[in-house]
Amino acid sequence: MTGWADDILLQCPKCGHVEDIQGYDVLGADPGNLFCNQCNFEGVMIDVPTEPTAVIDNRGQAMQTAKFYGASDDLIEVEGIKGGNEFNVIADGPHMASFNLGGKMRVHAIYDGCWSFAPAMVDESIPLPDWPIRVKQEGYTTVLEIDVPDDVKVFHERKQ
């Protein structure tokens, strides 16, 4: 290794801790002498890929993971899906915004001091897809992750 690490993730084989060594000076460093800050292991670390890997559903269809979360009191981040972006929703009121996932599912974003995201039907005539959904908390925001087919695009539905 020579120079500065750009965006490298290394995992300790002993404790599993993942360390981002972005900006770490690896000039002349011996990969066998790297040190885990979690468990003090010294040795060869496992390189963790930084590129997203494809998710394949049980039918063999390629999937992408749409991730919804709040940033400050007026921004919604949508990542991992075509059409994803940072959306400024300050003018949309307490029910801040709705996002449409390819006409098959809607996600409502609500801000009441904390961010919440709710998957919903687009219309009573359109069955809700059985896409895997995960919910977790990160600080003041709920994080909603939905595995959707690769051809699905998200768009922000504006109030009329």
Three-class DSSP labels, 100-150 = EECCCEEEEEEECCCEEEEEECCCCCCCCCCCCEEEEEECCEEEEEEEEEC
Report the chain's terminal Cα–Cα distance, integer Å. 56
Give the integer Cα–Cα distance in Å for 148 and 97: 20
Looking at residue 60, the DSSP 8-state letter turns out to be S
Structure tokens, 25: 């000076």
Cα 145–chain centre separation: 7
Average pLDDT across the chain, whole number: 77
The model's confidence at residue 113, banded by pLDDT at 50, 70 and 90, is: confident
- Higher pLDDT among residues 123 and 72, named by residue: 123
The model's confidence at residue 90, banded by pLDDT at 50, 70 and 90, is: confident
Residue 157, H or E segment:
strand 154-157
Give the integer Cα–Cα distance in Å for 103 and 1: 48
